[in-house]
Structure 1
Amino acid sequence: MGVSAEGGKVIRDVGGTLGVLTRAGADRGAADKAGDYERLAALSEQEARERARKTREQAGKERDALRQRQRESQARGRAGWGRSGVSLASGSPLAVLEGRAAEDEQEQLDLLERGESAASAELGSGASAAARYRNRAESLRSGSSGADGAEAFRRTGSLLARGGRVFDY
Protein backbone atom coordinates (compact mmCIF):
# COMPACT_ATOMS: atom_id res chain seq x y z
CA MET A 1 0.00 0.00 0.00
CA GLY A 2 1.40 3.38 -0.94
CA VAL A 3 0.54 7.03 -0.81
CA SER A 4 -1.68 8.31 -3.58
CA ALA A 5 -0.63 11.13 -5.86
CA GLU A 6 -2.93 13.49 -4.02
CA GLY A 7 -1.55 12.37 -0.64
CA GLY A 8 1.96 12.87 -1.96
CA LYS A 9 1.08 16.42 -3.02
CA VAL A 10 -0.27 17.19 0.45
CA ILE A 11 2.88 15.79 2.03
CA ARG A 12 5.02 17.88 -0.33
CA ASP A 13 3.03 21.03 0.47
CA VAL A 14 3.20 20.44 4.22
CA GLY A 15 6.89 19.58 4.03
CA GLY A 16 7.65 22.66 1.96
CA THR A 17 5.66 24.89 4.30
CA LEU A 18 7.36 23.34 7.31
CA GLY A 19 10.76 24.09 5.77
CA VAL A 20 9.81 27.69 4.96
CA LEU A 21 8.38 28.32 8.42
CA THR A 22 11.35 26.69 10.12
CA ARG A 23 13.85 28.74 8.10
CA ALA A 24 11.90 31.93 8.80
CA GLY A 25 11.79 31.17 12.53
CA ALA A 26 15.48 30.30 12.61
CA ASP A 27 16.33 33.43 10.64
CA ARG A 28 14.28 35.54 13.06
CA GLY A 29 15.92 33.87 16.04
CA ALA A 30 19.36 34.32 14.52
CA ALA A 31 18.62 37.96 13.77
CA ASP A 32 17.46 38.52 17.36
CA LYS A 33 20.56 36.81 18.74
CA ALA A 34 22.81 38.72 16.35
CA GLY A 35 21.21 41.96 17.53
CA ASP A 36 21.82 40.91 21.14
CA TYR A 37 25.47 40.26 20.35
CA GLU A 38 25.77 43.66 18.66
CA ARG A 39 24.32 45.31 21.76
CA LEU A 40 26.74 43.37 23.95
CA ALA A 41 29.61 44.51 21.72
CA ALA A 42 28.57 48.15 22.05
CA LEU A 43 28.13 47.74 25.80
CA SER A 44 31.59 46.15 26.13
CA GLU A 45 33.15 49.09 24.33
CA GLN A 46 31.21 51.61 26.41
CA GLU A 47 32.17 49.93 29.68
CA ALA A 48 35.81 49.75 28.59
CA ARG A 49 35.80 53.48 27.80
CA GLU A 50 34.32 54.19 31.23
CA ARG A 51 36.91 51.99 32.98
CA ALA A 52 39.68 53.70 30.98
CA ARG A 53 38.33 57.14 31.93
CA LYS A 54 38.24 56.16 35.60
CA THR A 55 41.75 54.71 35.37
CA ARG A 56 43.08 57.95 33.86
CA GLU A 57 41.20 59.98 36.45
CA GLN A 58 42.69 57.88 39.26
CA ALA A 59 46.19 58.27 37.81
CA GLY A 60 45.67 62.04 37.72
CA LYS A 61 44.60 62.05 41.38
CA GLU A 62 47.60 59.92 42.33
CA ARG A 63 49.89 62.28 40.41
CA ASP A 64 48.40 65.29 42.22
CA ALA A 65 48.91 63.60 45.60
CA LEU A 66 52.48 62.67 44.63
CA ARG A 67 53.16 66.21 43.48
CA GLN A 68 51.92 67.55 46.82
CA ARG A 69 54.14 65.14 48.78
CA GLN A 70 57.10 66.11 46.60
CA ARG A 71 56.49 69.83 47.16
CA GLU A 72 56.32 69.28 50.90
CA SER A 73 59.54 67.25 50.79
CA GLN A 74 61.28 69.94 48.73
CA ALA A 75 60.09 72.63 51.15
CA ARG A 76 61.43 70.66 54.14
CA GLY A 77 64.74 70.20 52.31
CA ARG A 78 65.05 73.93 51.54
CA ALA A 79 64.11 74.80 55.11
CA GLY A 80 66.74 72.39 56.45
CA TRP A 81 69.40 73.87 54.20
CA GLY A 82 68.32 77.36 55.19
CA ARG A 83 68.68 76.53 58.89
CA SER A 84 72.14 75.18 58.25
CA GLY A 85 73.25 78.44 56.65
CA VAL A 86 73.81 77.04 53.14
CA SER A 87 73.12 79.58 50.39
CA LEU A 88 70.48 78.21 48.00
CA ALA A 89 71.08 80.93 45.38
CA SER A 90 73.93 79.23 43.59
CA GLY A 91 76.26 76.30 43.37
CA SER A 92 75.72 72.74 44.52
CA PRO A 93 72.55 73.26 46.59
CA LEU A 94 70.80 74.86 43.62
CA ALA A 95 71.92 72.03 41.32
CA VAL A 96 70.66 69.49 43.87
CA LEU A 97 67.26 71.21 44.07
CA GLU A 98 66.98 71.41 40.28
CA GLY A 99 68.00 67.76 39.93
CA ARG A 100 65.47 66.72 42.54
CA ALA A 101 62.75 68.73 40.78
CA ALA A 102 63.57 66.96 37.50
CA GLU A 103 63.42 63.55 39.21
CA ASP A 104 60.11 64.46 40.81
CA GLU A 105 58.71 65.52 37.45
CA GLN A 106 59.86 62.25 35.87
CA GLU A 107 58.25 60.29 38.70
CA GLN A 108 54.97 62.10 38.04
CA LEU A 109 55.20 61.39 34.32
CA ASP A 110 55.94 57.72 35.01
CA LEU A 111 52.85 57.49 37.19
CA LEU A 112 50.70 59.03 34.46
CA GLU A 113 52.25 56.70 31.88
CA ARG A 114 51.35 53.67 34.00
CA GLY A 115 47.80 55.00 34.26
CA GLU A 116 47.61 55.53 30.50
CA SER A 117 48.98 52.04 29.91
CA ALA A 118 46.33 50.56 32.21
CA ALA A 119 43.64 52.63 30.44
CA SER A 120 44.85 51.36 27.06
CA ALA A 121 44.69 47.81 28.37
CA GLU A 122 41.08 48.40 29.44
CA LEU A 123 40.23 49.73 25.98
CA GLY A 124 41.96 46.78 24.36
CA SER A 125 40.08 44.35 26.56
CA GLY A 126 36.79 46.02 25.66
CA ALA A 127 37.63 46.03 21.95
CA SER A 128 38.55 42.34 22.12
CA ALA A 129 35.28 41.43 23.84
CA ALA A 130 33.34 43.54 21.33
CA ALA A 131 35.09 41.82 18.44
CA ARG A 132 34.17 38.39 19.84
CA TYR A 133 30.52 39.45 20.17
CA ARG A 134 30.50 40.90 16.65
CA ASN A 135 32.02 37.70 15.27
CA ARG A 136 29.24 35.71 16.93
CA ALA A 137 26.66 38.09 15.49
CA GLU A 138 28.17 37.73 12.02
CA SER A 139 28.20 33.94 12.36
CA LEU A 140 24.51 34.01 13.17
CA ARG A 141 23.76 36.33 10.27
CA SER A 142 25.70 34.19 7.82
CA GLY A 143 23.94 31.08 9.07
CA SER A 144 27.03 29.19 10.16
CA SER A 145 25.72 28.24 13.58
CA GLY A 146 22.05 28.65 14.50
CA ALA A 147 20.87 27.98 10.96
CA ASP A 148 22.13 24.39 11.16
CA GLY A 149 18.93 23.43 12.98
CA ALA A 150 16.86 25.16 10.31
CA GLU A 151 18.72 23.23 7.64
CA ALA A 152 17.87 19.95 9.38
CA PHE A 153 14.18 20.88 9.45
CA ARG A 154 14.35 21.94 5.79
CA ARG A 155 15.79 18.56 4.91
CA THR A 156 13.02 16.86 6.89
CA GLY A 157 10.43 18.83 4.95
CA SER A 158 12.19 17.93 1.72
CA LEU A 159 12.19 14.27 2.69
CA LEU A 160 8.47 14.43 3.38
CA ALA A 161 7.91 16.07 0.02
CA ARG A 162 9.91 13.40 -1.78
CA GLY A 163 8.02 10.75 0.12
CA GLY A 164 4.98 11.38 -2.02
CA ARG A 165 6.95 10.55 -5.14
CA VAL A 166 8.84 7.65 -3.66
CA PHE A 167 5.74 5.79 -2.57
CA ASP A 168 3.65 6.77 -5.58
CA TYR A 169 2.92 3.70 -7.70
Structure 2
Amino acid sequence: MTKAKEAAKPKPEDLPYRPCVGVMLIDAQGRIFAGRRNDTEAPAWQMPQGGIDKGEKPRQAALRELHEESGVTEDLVEFVAKSPDWVTYDLPPELLGKVWGGKYRGQKQRWFLYRFLGRDDHIDIATEHPEFSEWRWITADEMLHAIVPFKRAVYEQVVAAFRRYLA
Protein backbone atom coordinates (compact mmCIF):
# COMPACT_ATOMS: atom_id res chain seq x y z
CA MET A 1 0.00 0.00 0.00
CA THR A 2 1.35 3.41 -0.92
CA LYS A 3 1.85 6.09 1.70
CA ALA A 4 -0.95 8.17 0.14
CA LYS A 5 -3.42 5.27 0.37
CA GLU A 6 -2.28 4.49 3.91
CA ALA A 7 -2.81 8.13 4.92
CA ALA A 8 -6.30 8.17 3.31
CA LYS A 9 -7.39 5.00 5.10
CA PRO A 10 -9.53 5.96 8.12
CA LYS A 11 -8.27 5.07 11.56
CA PRO A 12 -10.59 2.80 13.57
CA GLU A 13 -11.12 5.50 16.19
CA ASP A 14 -12.38 7.86 13.45
CA LEU A 15 -15.15 5.46 12.42
CA PRO A 16 -18.59 5.45 14.09
CA TYR A 17 -20.28 2.52 15.81
CA ARG A 18 -23.09 0.77 13.94
CA PRO A 19 -26.43 1.26 15.76
CA CYS A 20 -27.66 -2.18 16.71
CA VAL A 21 -29.92 -4.17 19.02
CA GLY A 22 -29.59 -7.51 20.74
CA VAL A 23 -32.19 -9.87 22.16
CA MET A 24 -31.76 -12.14 25.13
CA LEU A 25 -34.62 -14.60 24.80
CA ILE A 26 -35.16 -16.75 27.88
CA ASP A 27 -37.34 -19.78 28.48
CA ALA A 28 -39.48 -20.45 31.56
CA GLN A 29 -36.42 -21.79 33.41
CA GLY A 30 -34.35 -18.67 32.67
CA ARG A 31 -32.11 -20.35 30.09
CA ILE A 32 -30.93 -18.30 27.11
CA PHE A 33 -31.59 -18.95 23.43
CA ALA A 34 -28.26 -19.35 21.64
CA GLY A 35 -27.72 -19.88 17.93
CA ARG A 36 -24.57 -21.24 16.32
CA ARG A 37 -23.42 -18.86 13.59
CA ASN A 38 -23.40 -20.46 10.17
CA ASP A 39 -20.78 -18.14 8.66
CA THR A 40 -17.76 -19.53 10.49
CA GLU A 41 -16.09 -22.88 11.00
CA ALA A 42 -15.45 -22.04 14.66
CA PRO A 43 -18.22 -23.01 17.10
CA ALA A 44 -19.42 -19.43 17.59
CA TRP A 45 -22.71 -19.12 19.46
CA GLN A 46 -24.60 -15.90 20.06
CA MET A 47 -27.96 -14.33 20.79
CA PRO A 48 -30.05 -12.67 18.05
CA GLN A 49 -28.76 -9.23 17.17
CA GLY A 50 -28.57 -6.85 14.24
CA GLY A 51 -28.72 -3.34 12.90
CA ILE A 52 -31.43 -0.77 13.42
CA ASP A 53 -33.07 0.24 10.13
CA LYS A 54 -33.57 3.91 9.25
CA GLY A 55 -36.64 5.26 11.06
CA GLU A 56 -36.93 2.17 13.26
CA LYS A 57 -37.12 2.33 17.06
CA PRO A 58 -34.73 0.01 18.95
CA ARG A 59 -37.53 -2.12 20.41
CA GLN A 60 -39.08 -2.57 16.95
CA ALA A 61 -35.66 -3.57 15.61
CA ALA A 62 -35.24 -6.10 18.43
CA LEU A 63 -38.53 -7.83 17.61
CA ARG A 64 -37.72 -7.78 13.89
CA GLU A 65 -34.26 -9.26 14.44
CA LEU A 66 -35.66 -11.90 16.77
CA HIS A 67 -38.14 -12.96 14.10
CA GLU A 68 -35.61 -12.82 11.26
CA GLU A 69 -33.10 -14.99 13.13
CA SER A 70 -35.30 -17.40 15.10
CA GLY A 71 -38.76 -17.34 13.52
CA VAL A 72 -40.18 -16.24 16.89
CA THR A 73 -43.01 -13.75 16.49
CA GLU A 74 -44.02 -10.92 18.82
CA ASP A 75 -47.08 -12.81 20.10
CA LEU A 76 -44.77 -15.55 21.46
CA VAL A 77 -42.73 -13.26 23.71
CA GLU A 78 -43.23 -11.10 26.76
CA PHE A 79 -41.10 -7.99 27.26
CA VAL A 80 -39.16 -8.20 30.54
CA ALA A 81 -36.45 -5.51 30.51
CA LYS A 82 -33.98 -3.51 28.47
CA SER A 83 -30.35 -2.78 29.18
CA PRO A 84 -29.88 0.45 31.14
CA ASP A 85 -27.26 1.73 28.71
CA TRP A 86 -25.97 1.21 25.20
CA VAL A 87 -22.93 -1.05 25.09
CA THR A 88 -20.18 -1.03 22.47
CA TYR A 89 -17.59 -3.35 21.06
CA ASP A 90 -14.82 -2.85 18.54
CA LEU A 91 -14.17 -5.23 15.70
CA PRO A 92 -10.88 -7.12 15.84
CA PRO A 93 -8.25 -5.84 13.36
CA GLU A 94 -8.75 -8.78 10.97
CA LEU A 95 -12.45 -7.85 10.50
CA LEU A 96 -12.09 -4.07 10.44
CA GLY A 97 -12.80 -2.74 6.97
CA LYS A 98 -14.27 -6.07 5.83
CA VAL A 99 -17.73 -6.11 7.40
CA TRP A 100 -20.52 -3.53 6.98
CA GLY A 101 -18.73 -2.05 3.99
CA GLY A 102 -15.85 -0.87 6.19
CA LYS A 103 -18.00 2.00 7.50
CA TYR A 104 -17.97 1.07 11.18
CA ARG A 105 -15.44 0.32 13.90
CA GLY A 106 -17.85 -1.94 15.77
CA GLN A 107 -21.34 -1.84 17.18
CA LYS A 108 -23.30 0.21 19.70
CA GLN A 109 -26.05 -2.03 21.04
CA ARG A 110 -29.21 -1.69 23.10
CA TRP A 111 -30.25 -5.05 24.55
CA PHE A 112 -33.77 -6.32 25.25
CA LEU A 113 -34.82 -9.23 27.44
CA TYR A 114 -37.87 -11.22 26.37
CA ARG A 115 -39.44 -14.31 27.93
CA PHE A 116 -40.42 -16.97 25.39
CA LEU A 117 -44.07 -18.01 25.77
CA GLY A 118 -44.15 -20.57 22.99
CA ARG A 119 -42.98 -24.12 22.51
CA ASP A 120 -39.61 -25.17 21.12
CA ASP A 121 -41.26 -26.18 17.84
CA HIS A 122 -42.25 -22.50 17.35
CA ILE A 123 -38.55 -21.72 16.90
CA ASP A 124 -37.47 -21.99 13.27
CA ILE A 125 -33.94 -20.93 12.36
CA ALA A 126 -34.46 -21.93 8.70
CA THR A 127 -35.45 -18.33 7.94
CA GLU A 128 -35.24 -16.43 4.64
CA HIS A 129 -31.62 -15.45 5.38
CA PRO A 130 -30.49 -17.98 8.00
CA GLU A 131 -27.80 -16.88 10.42
CA PHE A 132 -27.72 -19.97 12.61
CA SER A 133 -27.06 -23.62 11.77
CA GLU A 134 -28.43 -24.89 15.09
CA TRP A 135 -29.81 -23.56 18.36
CA ARG A 136 -30.20 -24.56 22.00
CA TRP A 137 -31.15 -23.24 25.45
CA ILE A 138 -28.09 -22.58 27.62
CA THR A 139 -27.20 -20.98 30.94
CA ALA A 140 -25.64 -17.53 31.23
CA ASP A 141 -22.24 -19.04 32.09
CA GLU A 142 -22.42 -21.29 29.02
CA MET A 143 -23.33 -18.26 26.90
CA LEU A 144 -20.30 -16.33 28.16
CA HIS A 145 -18.02 -19.24 27.22
CA ALA A 146 -19.64 -19.73 23.80
CA ILE A 147 -19.44 -16.15 22.46
CA VAL A 148 -16.53 -15.03 20.30
CA PRO A 149 -13.85 -13.32 22.43
CA PHE A 150 -14.27 -9.81 20.98
CA LYS A 151 -17.95 -9.75 22.05
CA ARG A 152 -17.42 -11.29 25.50
CA ALA A 153 -17.25 -7.99 27.41
CA VAL A 154 -20.60 -6.93 25.90
CA TYR A 155 -22.18 -10.25 26.82
CA GLU A 156 -20.82 -9.95 30.37
CA GLN A 157 -22.53 -6.55 30.68
CA VAL A 158 -25.79 -7.91 29.27
CA VAL A 159 -25.76 -10.93 31.58
CA ALA A 160 -25.04 -8.65 34.55
CA ALA A 161 -27.95 -6.37 33.60
CA PHE A 162 -30.41 -9.28 33.32
CA ARG A 163 -28.88 -11.67 35.91
CA ARG A 164 -31.88 -11.72 38.26
CA TYR A 165 -34.06 -13.23 35.52
CA LEU A 166 -31.60 -15.96 34.51
CA ALA A 167 -31.15 -19.60 35.49
TM class by shorter chain equals under 0.3
Q: TM-score normalized by structure 1?
A: 0.19
Q: Which has the larger radius of gyration?
A: 1
Greater share of helix: 1
Structure showing the higher strand proportion among its residues: 2
Greater length-normalized contact order (CA 8 Å, ≥ 6 residues apart):
1
